Amino acid sequence: MHQKEKVIAPLLEQELCIKVIVPQDFNTDIFGTFTRDVKRPGTQIATAKLKAEKADPDSAWSKFSSVGMVESVRSLNGETTVETHYFISSLESNARQFGNSIRSHWGIENSLHWVLDVALREDDCRIRKDNAPQNFAILRLYCS
The amino acid occupying position 105 is H
For residue 81, what pLDDT is reported? 93
Q: How far apart are CA 49 and CA 19, in angstroms?
A: 19
Long-range contacts: 51-58, Cβ < 8 Å, 24+? 54/26, 54/28, 55/22, 55/23, 55/26, 56/23
pLDDT single digits (tens) 107-129: 666 666 666 666 667 777 777 77
For residue 99, what pLDDT is reported? 84
For residue 69, what pLDDT is reported? 85
pLDDT single digits (tens) 53-102: 777 777 766 667 778 888 888 898 999 999 888 887 877 778 888 888 88
For residue 77, what pLDDT is reported? 92
